[in-house]
Amino acid sequence: MKNEFFSSRFALVVSTLGIAVGTGNIWRFPRIVAQNDGGTFLIPWIVFLFLWSLPLLMAEFAIGKFTRLSPVLAIPKLAGKKFMWMGGFIAFVSTAIMFYYSVVTGWCVNYFFSAVSGNLLSVNDHFKYWATFSNSLLPVLFQIGVMVLGSIIIYRGLVKGIESTSKILVSSLIIIIVILLVRAVTLPNAIKGIEYFFTPNLDKIFDYKIWLSALTQNAWDTGAGWGLIMTYAIYLRKKDDIALNASLIGFGNNSISLIAGIIIFSTTFALSDANPMESLKYSGPANTGMTLIVLPHLFSKLSESFFVNSFFAAMFFLALSMAAFTSLMSMIELTSRSLIDLGLERNKSIIFTAVLGIVFGIPSALSTNFLINQDWVWGIGLILSGAFISFSVIKFGAEKFRVNLILPDSDFQIGKIYNVTIKYLIPVQALALLVWWLYSSVSWDNEWLNPFHSENVGTCLFQWGIIIFMLILLNKFLIRRSKI
Amino acid sequence: MKVETMVTAIVVSLILFGGLTFIVTLAIKKERNKNNGSTRND
């Protein structure tokens, strides 16, 4: 696949949009909006699209196209060999996310099949239904299934695998989302949900927690700073631009989030018996509350017809499965591409990645507590990944990076404001997020340094520390092996 | 509907959907120019 390139701009856009659009848009975004005062959240969320997501997306596109290497080697090529451990950390974080993301993808696929068969909407207690499912072996089977399928697609190569699958899944996803949007906004009382979704509470507009949640959401759902876009950018043709494509992904991704928010808020306000805000804010076990427990219940009340209700429930979970699956594919590609760059043969690296993903995903499939811990540790680790990408650009020289890597072949000009954003604003944002997170974690957990708690500072520092320590130890060995 | 609700809805939708439409239109135009250019070169 080393000499393959995207066959068209459309193929490139749908493939990279497939990375960005995932469970973060449909599952996480509406819940975070509800937990952060509805419309108040939307303002900083738009601001951080420009201050965090777009600069990092451009950096990832440019680094991948310039180096033609995965993050593990691309970062040292830009920043210097002694920083190879940073590239290793970026690759490791996305790989660790792949381990549990495959489980979450499996859940979505299971709920899709369950909706198609009619089982999902024929049960009354959806909490019990989730508990029975999550305590069975089904999550393991579905996790293995999606990992095997994802690996087969990556094995088929860029054009026959990634491109053709993304074209079908991302296009279908957009069509389904539009159908769901039309149905949701035409429900009685849907307007109340839309009103809440867009109403800002001006007294809370400067609440730092809302701004930090908006930054975290942008870091999560655009895929900026994960190293995934960087990996797909290896396959950009020489004439492919950076600025326009990166903007397309950022704006496209956040537009899909906005539509998903309107769908969920309209549906919840129209169909919820109890307080709709409580339903929207309900996190539940492993954050499944709104999506896997409340929504199936709401779908069962959509109309008098069981068939129609099952149809829309199936559409929703199909969209969610497709969004999750295309993101999972990019994680498999990143891990296997990193192994290729470190000297492993392509076929072996894909098989190794599949086996690794299945084996290390099993603990998350068997225990939601383990999954919560991994989601916490590596989800926050993404902020470090973003900071490392920004660091490598600074080390390379922000102006040199803009002029030599972004501007050539770009379809529109990026001014010197880019240098300020990547040199100062991204590091400041990363630092602010980490400090806030440290401060708030210390205040809610007396044993904040205990490494064996599922969601605290200690467990992050412990697991990041082990990985960074090992990567620094292996730095010289990896440089020799990769021959950069 | 409150004024601030309408303003937020219009501004947010305009930035995202308007921005997206502008970028897609520009991408199509640039792509067409590039293809025409390469055809002439061929």
Q: pLDDT for A320-350, tens place per residue?
A: 999 999 999 999 999 999 999 999 999 999 9
Q: Which of B13, B17, B23, B41 to mutate to test the interface with A (most CBs of A within 10 A)?
A: B23
Contacts across the A-B interface (CB distance below 8 Å): 59
Q: Least CB-CB distance to B4: which of A199, A245, A252? A: A199
What lies within 8 Å, CB to CB, of A190 at 6+ separation is A184, A266, A267, A269, A270
Whether A251 sits inside 8 A of B12 (CB atoms) is: no
Secondary structure (3-state) at A304: coil
For residue A82, the model assigns a pLDDT of 93
Is pTM, for the whole model, over 0.90? Answer: yes
Q: Give the ipTM.
A: 0.88
pLDDT recorded at residue B35: 77
- As a whole number, mean pLDDT of residues A7-24 equals 95
CB contact under 8 A, A247 and B23: yes
A252 interaction partners in chain B (CB closer than 8 Å): 20
CB contact under 8 A, A411 and B27: yes
Question: Does the distance separating the beta carbons of A241 and B12 come in below 8 Å?
Answer: no
**pLDDT, average across residues A103-122:** 96
Calculate how close chain B gets to A200, using CA atoms only, in Å. 7
DSSP of A350-379: HHHHHHHHHHHHHHHHH-HHHHHHHHHHHH
Orientation angle between helical segments A164-185 and A306-341, nearest 10 degrees: 150
Helix/strand/coil for A187: coil
Mean pLDDT of A227-238: 96
Interface of B with A (CB under 8 A): 1-2, 4-6, 8-9, 12-13, 15-17, 19-20, 23-24, 26-27, 30-31, 34
Question: Does B40 have pLDDT greater than 90?
Answer: no
Count helices and strands (H / E) in chain B. Answer: 2, 0
Question: What SS3 class is residue A3?
Answer: coil
